[in-house]
């Protein structure tokens, strides 16, 4: 089990990331941490793993813990064996088998005589059987690095497994191996992930927000249903407050109008009856005081309702606020944009694909490019864009406008300020105020307009690109997405999904996220191998 008691964490000279978190995770359960970027999911997972210390509170665990990080930069200089923390045991076993009987070697090995066999079995399971345990991690691809740490689970056989975005760099085969492991393992598992296929294999979701932890007993589909119910209730509350605000303003106007009519009628009667001027002034002052008091009462009521309405509106999901209203591309549906005949690309005299590739892309197509890591998916994209020419075969490209969005969002000029980059899409000469209004709708307030794009997170870069597409009066003829969900949280995946579903141009996608591919309605596939 894992027990978190009054956990608080914050960075120096900053606000608390989260405060007084209390959570109990039962033995043999599979759960996930959800929440928007910046809420501290990865930090809380590191605290559970005892990789970092909280400012306050305690973490107690029953059983040994194995932690798979999201980022591997701190491990690049280490060997695979060092990363897996088996280097000392392997060296001790080697010394013993070579006849060295020093006590220190037996203490280090601790009767773990089958450590080599477990390593081989684990690496083979993750398709890393040719890996040298003495090579450094920096020599491996992102997917291989992830698989090394996942192999460590099989080697160490922990009671508690903590996984931070484990599918980010895995191909479909690797993901399926992980899904199968999660379903079969008897260990306690806690996952931080945006992979909805993976999250559908957990039994509970803990949502981390600035209000603390909310517990949802079920998988991702159940969690999404509950959030939708909550959102519908929120929208009903907003509509009720909007009606109450309108009614309060009408009541204020009607009351003041009635008061003014009564005052005018009373004044007319007083003048006819010859009331003294000094008395008239006194009565007028009294009427003005009453009117002022009446206005104050109504203003306070309206202010209270307006405050409640602001609070409710601030709780609306960002995915419902950020919509890209794509105009239809100018190209007619069915026009041939790319036609490739028996193309291939040569690396070091070796063809990239076993068989030459032929394909055709027409305007309005929605295509998925599939293949394992290293199968040449990105190379094919570069051919479609005209950046790379095939070594053999022919490729025809008509004149069309394409936008290429990769997982690093490298289309964004890192040296540009947020506002200046957004202005690059302003091909319809929108006034500055409208551009800034759209930036605000995509959560870029005025304090961010001068911020350099270089410091933006993956989710922020996605939102800035989508904002730019909203500013432009013309949608691109083709959008190419290369693993676009890899560095996004669930909220930003939802925002991207909603935007792409509404796009009527040509869509070409590389993605191992099966749920994302299904939801954006891809209708054909190109398989590379």
**Who has greater pLDDT, 364 or 290?**
364
> For the segment 319-339, what is each residue's pLDDT rounded down to a tens digit?
555 667 676 677 778 899 999
Contact yes or no for 18/56 (Cβ under 8 A): no
88-93 average pLDDT score: 89
Q: Any idea which residue has 């969002």 for tokens?
A: 409
Count Cβ neighbours within 10 Å for each residue of 33-72 and write b for 16 or more, e otherwise: bbbbbebbbbbbbbbbbeeeebeebebebeeebbbbbbeb
Give me the pLDDT at residue 249, please: 79
Give the list of residues 6+ apart from residue 292 with CB closer than 8 angstroms, or none: none
97-108 average pLDDT score: 86
| In the predicted structure, residue 6 carries a pLDDT above the cut 80 | yes
Q: pLDDT-derived band of residue 436, with 50, 70 and 90 as boundaries?
A: very high
Number of Cβ atoms within 10 Å of the Cβ of 181 = 19
What percentage of the chain reaches a pLDDT higher than 90? 39
| In the predicted structure, residue 482 carries a pLDDT above the cut 80 | yes
| In the predicted structure, residue 304 carries a pLDDT above the cut 90 | no
| In the predicted structure, residue 32 carries a pLDDT above the cut 60 | yes
Beta strands at 16-25 and 65-68: parallel, antiparallel or unpaired? unpaired
> For the segment 108-135, what is each residue's pLDDT rounded down to a tens digit?
888 889 888 999 999 999 999 888 888 9
Question: How does the average pLDDT of the chain come out, rounded?
Answer: 85
**Who has greater pLDDT, 312 or 135?**
135
Residue 189 per-residue DSSP state: E
Give me the pLDDT at residue 49, please: 93
Q: Any idea which residue has 């519908």 for tokens?
A: 232
Minimum mean pLDDT range among 44-48, 243-247, 438-442, 522-526 = 243-247
Give me the pLDDT at residue 121, please: 93
| In the predicted structure, residue 413 carries a pLDDT above the cut 70 | yes
Give me the pLDDT at residue 502, please: 82
> For the segment 49-84, what is each residue's pLDDT rounded down to a tens digit?
999 999 999 999 888 999 999 888 788 899 999 999
**Who has greater pLDDT, 343 or 256?**
343
Task: For residue 464, give the nearest of 519, 413, 402 by alpha carbon.
Answer: 413
d(CA 160, CA 176) in angstroms, rounded, equals: 21
> For the segment 12-22, what is each residue's pLDDT rounded down to a tens digit?
666 788 889 99
> For the segment 173-198, what is each residue's pLDDT rounded down to a tens digit?
899 999 999 999 999 999 999 899 99
374-398 average pLDDT score: 90
| CA trace torsion 288, 291, 293, 299 (10° rounding) | -140
Beta strands at 336-344 and 392-397: parallel, antiparallel or unpaired? antiparallel
Task: For residue 169, give the nearest of 496, 407, 492 by alpha carbon.
Answer: 407
Question: What would the two tokens of residue 386 be?
Answer: 């005209």
Q: pLDDT-derived band of residue 265, with 50, 70 and 90 as boundaries?
A: low
What percentage of the chain reaches a pLDDT higher than 70? 88
Q: pLDDT-derived band of residue 221, with 50, 70 and 90 as boundaries?
A: very high
437-441 average pLDDT score: 88
| In the predicted structure, residue 288 carries a pLDDT above the cut 70 | no
Task: For residue 397, give the nearest of 341, 337, 342, 345 by alpha carbon.
Answer: 337
Give me the pLDDT at residue 24, please: 93
């Amino acid at each position: 089990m894992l027990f978190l008691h009054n956990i608080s964490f914050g960075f120096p000279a900053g606000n608390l990331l989260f405060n007084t978190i209390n959570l109990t995770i039962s033995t043999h359960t599979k759960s996930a941490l959800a929440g928007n970027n910046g809420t501290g999911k990865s930090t809380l997972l590191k605290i559970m793993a005892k990789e970092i210390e909280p400012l306050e509170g305690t973490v107690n665990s029953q059983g040994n813990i194995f932690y798979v990080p999201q980022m591997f930069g701190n491990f690049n200089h280490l060997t695979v064996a060092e990363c897996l923390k088996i280097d000392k045991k392997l060296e001790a076993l080697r010394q013993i088998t070579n006849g060295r009987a020093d006590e220190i070697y037996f203490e280090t090995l601790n009767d773990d005589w089958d450590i080599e066999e477990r390593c081989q079995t684990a690496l083979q399971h993750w398709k890393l059987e040719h890996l040298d345990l003495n090579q450094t991690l920096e020599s491996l691809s992102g997917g291989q690095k992830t698989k090394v740490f996942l192999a460590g689970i099989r080697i160490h056989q922990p009671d508690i497994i903590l996984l931070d975005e484990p599918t980010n760099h895995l191909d479909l085969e690797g993901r399926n191996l992980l899904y199968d492991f999660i379903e079969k393992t008897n260990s306690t598992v806690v996952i931080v992930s945006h992979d909805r296929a993976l999250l559908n294999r957990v039994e509970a979701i803990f949502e981390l927000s600035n209000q603390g932890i909310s517990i949802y007993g079920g998988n991702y589909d159940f969690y999404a249903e509950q959030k939708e119910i909550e959102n519908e209730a929120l929208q009903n509350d907003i509509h009720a407050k909007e009606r109450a605000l309108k009614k309060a303003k009408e009541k204020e106007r009607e009351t003041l109008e009635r008061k003014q009519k009564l005052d005018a009628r009373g004044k007319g009667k007083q003048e006819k009856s010859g009331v003294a001027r000094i008395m008239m002034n006194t009565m007028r002052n009294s009427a003005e005081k009453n009117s002022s008091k009446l206005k104050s009462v109504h203003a306070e009521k309206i202010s209270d309702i307006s405050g409640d309405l602001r609070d409710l509106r601030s709780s609306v999901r960002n995915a419902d606020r950020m919509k890209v209203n794509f105009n239809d591309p100018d190209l007619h549906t069915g026009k041939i944009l790319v036609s490739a005949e028996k193309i291939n690309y040569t690396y070091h005299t070796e063809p990239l694909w076993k068989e030459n590739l032929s394909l055709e892309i027409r305007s309005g197509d929605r295509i998925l490019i599939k293949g394992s890591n290293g199968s040449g998916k990105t190379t094919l994209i570069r051919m479609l864009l005209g950046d790379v020419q095939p070594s053999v075969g022919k490729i025809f490209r008509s004149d069309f406008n394409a936008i290429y969005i990769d997982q690093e969002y490298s289309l964004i000029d890192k040296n540009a300020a947020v506002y200046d980059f957004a202005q690059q899409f302003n091909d319809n000469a929108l006034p500055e105020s409208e551009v800034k209004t759209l930036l605000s709708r995509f959560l870029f307030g005025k304090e961010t307009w001068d911020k350099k794009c270089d410091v933006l997170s993956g989710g922020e870069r996605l939102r800035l690109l989508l904002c730019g597409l909203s500013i432009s009066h013309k949608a691109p003829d083709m959008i190419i997405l290369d693993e676009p969900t890899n560095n996004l949280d669930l909220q930003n995946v939802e925002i991207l999904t909603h935007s792409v579903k509404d796009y009527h141009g040509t869509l070409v996608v590389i993605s191992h996220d099966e749920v994302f591919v299904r939801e954006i309605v891809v209708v054909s596939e190109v398989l590379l191998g």
